[in-house]
């Protein structure tokens, strides 16, 4: 089988290889007299930050529009309420299985045992919360699920705004259920939401096309900052993550499908 050099997958792999090479070159150039990054390292870090910022910018409208539109589509079904309840129940059940698998892999493999703080800076968390804090955190503090954080440095204080995705999900579900309750009066709003979803998907497609460049910049910046030897120690952690994902995707889901009388291969082909 001939290798398709124009395929998106090959472009991403090529970008990762290029990022590895550029990162090694940037690290070999060293830092300035005051510890500042060299030009190549700065370019890699800036490009990677821009790519991540683009992804973060498109997530909130994508989540909101997709959730509201999906829930509103239940209006066409006679058993919408029952289907919604079963969907949430299965979501909670599969999430519980995923959490158990993650905890088991973490306890068995212990992926961070060999790091000893060499690869990434280690610091104590500002606060620790329990289940009650988690439940309170699900309640939105405002209609846009926005939260502000302030960092104080020698150069001054900076305040940044960020979206709380869990709170945004709660808002989206509430709005979607409200559209079901309102009925035909919500059609103009739903038309806007569906148009928003189409526009956001188009923008997301453009950003995804930048993945080869973004992956090259992110990998190169990480290697330039921490070094290859330090990042190589994170391979066990990355392997543990992919092992958990593989178990959920290739073991848990097929078993659940078979238990409900569905064939895994046709299901995944249409998903």
The pLDDT tens digits along the chain (271 residues) read: 556 677 888 899 999 999 999 999 998 888 777 777 888 999 999 999 999 999 999 999 999 999 999 888 877 777 766 777 787 788 888 889 999 999 999 899 887 666 655 555 556 666 666 667 767 777 777 776 667 666 665 655 666 667 777 888 888 888 988 888 888 899 999 999 999 999 999 999 999 999 999 999 999 998 888 887 777 767 788 888 999 999 999 999 999 999 999 999 999 888 8
Q: Which domain holds residue 179?
A: 10-28+37-78+135-233
In a domain, 57, yes or no: yes
Residue 268 lies in a domain: no
Residue 224 located in a structural domain: yes
Structure confidence at residue 86 (pLDDT):
81
Residue-level pLDDT at 211: 94
User: Looking at the domain assignment, is residue 114 inside a domain?
Assistant: no
What's residue 259's pLDDT? 92
Domain membership flag for residue 89: no
Question: Is residue 58 one of the residues assigned to a domain?
Answer: yes
- Find, among 82, 88, 67, the residue nearest to 179 by Cα: 67
Q: How far apart are alpha carbons 186 and 172 in whole angstroms? A: 15
| pLDDT for residue 31 | 79
Cα 51 to Cα 6, 12, 20, 37, 215, distances in angstroms: 21, 14, 17, 19, 9
DSSP secondary structure string, 134-181? HHHHHS-SSTT-EEEEEEEETTEEEEEEEE-HHHHHHHHHHHHHHHHH
pLDDT of residue 158: 67
Determine, yes or no, domain membership for 252. no
> What pLDDT sits at residue 123?
60
- Give me the pLDDT at residue 264, please: 92
Q: Is residue 9 a contact partner of residue 193, using CB atoms and an 8 Å limit?
A: no
pLDDT of residue 231: 73
For the chain, the domain total comes to 1
Q: Residue 117 has what pLDDT?
A: 52
Does residue 221 sit within a domain? yes
Q: Is the pTM of this model over 0.85?
A: no
CATH code where residue 181 lies: 1.10.3860.10
């Amino acid at each position: 089988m001939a290798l398709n050099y124009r395929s998106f997958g090959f472009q991403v792999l090529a970008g990762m290889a290029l990022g590895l090479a550029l990162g090694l070159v940037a690290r070999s150039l060293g830092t300035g007299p005051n510890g500042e990054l060299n030009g190549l390292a700065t370019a890699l870090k800036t490009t990677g930050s821009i790519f991540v910022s683009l992804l973060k910018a498109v997530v909130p409208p994508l989540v909101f529009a997709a959730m509201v539109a999906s829930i509103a589509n239940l209006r066409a079904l006679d058993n919408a309420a029952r289907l919604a309840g079963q969907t949430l129940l299965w979501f909670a059940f599969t999430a519980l299985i995923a959490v158990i698998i993650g905890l088991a892999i973490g306890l068995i493999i212990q992926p961070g045992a060999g790091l000893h703080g060499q690869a990434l800076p280690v610091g104590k968390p500002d606060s620790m919360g329990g289940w009650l804090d988690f439940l309170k955190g699900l309640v939105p503090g405002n209609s846009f699920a926005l939260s502000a954080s302030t960092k104080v440095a020698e150069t001054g204080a900076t305040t940044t705004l960020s979206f709380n995705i869990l709170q945004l999900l709660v808002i989206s579900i509430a709005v979607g259920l409200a559209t079901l309750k309102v009925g035909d009066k919500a059609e103009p709003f739903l038309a806007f939401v569906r148009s928003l979803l189409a526009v956001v998907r188009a923008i997301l497609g453009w950003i995804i096309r930048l993945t080869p460049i973004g992956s090259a910049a992110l990998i190169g910046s990480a290697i330039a900052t921490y070094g290859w030897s330090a990042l190589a120690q994170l391979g066990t952690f990355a392997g543990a993550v992919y092992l958990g994902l593989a178990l959920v995707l290739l073991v848990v889901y097929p078993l659940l499908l078979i238990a409900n009388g569905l064939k895994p291969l046709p299901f995944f082909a249409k998903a």
